[in-house]
Structure 1
């Protein structure tokens, strides 16, 4: 799994983005579980994810309402199938309001840019 840690920081909240090839909902859940074996990611407030597969879209907000859909829409725009993207957030104590969606988008953009470059 490709991991980019500490890519965004805002009012104490910190973000990371991760991803890997993935072709099913079950595989996505297994990959997120594997990511959470890393103590740091297990302690995160949210591990939000999405993947587009042949069987349709799969997403999980992990308590960050609407964030999974943000990731899913970006995957659809890029027409990126069979690739899981996870945006991780460690809550810093201050609510970010709508800025949290901008940070999710920025994290996914960072991941997609690196994926295209490799």
Structure 2
């Protein structure tokens, strides 16, 4: 599991991104469970994630409506299969509107760039 912590900060909200290879929905659930054993991530407002599996994409917005699909689209563009990416947000008290999607994209890009 790779975790890139505190990569984006905006109006009090903080973002991290993490990921790892997974081969099944069970692996994806195990990844999130392991991530949330860290109290910092368990207390996060959102742990939004996605992975492309042989059966198709699997995603979870975790309350950040639409963010999982943003990750799916980026994984599809990169043709990165079997690798879950999770963007974590700690809400800072001010709504970010559409900027939250830009931050999800930026976080995923940081992770993808770090993979290469």
Aligned to 2:15: 15
SS at match of 1:48: strand
TM-score of the superposition, structure 2-length normalised?
0.99
Alpha-carbon offset, residue 13 of structure 1: 0.1
**Runs (4+) of structure 1 moved beyond 4 Å?**
none
The aligned length equals: 116
Aligned to 1:88: 88
Deviation at 1:25, TM superposition (A): 1.4
Structure 1 gaps, min length 5:
none
Structure 2 equivalent of residue 54 of structure 1: 54
Report what 1:33 is aligned to. 33
Q: TM-score, normalised by structure 1?
A: 0.97
Q: Whole-Å Cα distance in 2 between the matches of residues 35 and 48 of structure 1?
A: 12
Q: CA RMSD in A?
A: 0.4
Offset, 1:102: 0.1
Q: Distance in 2 between matches of 1:96 and 1:17?
A: 18
Unaligned runs of 5+ in 2: none
**Distance in 1 separating the partners of 2:23 and 2:87:** 18
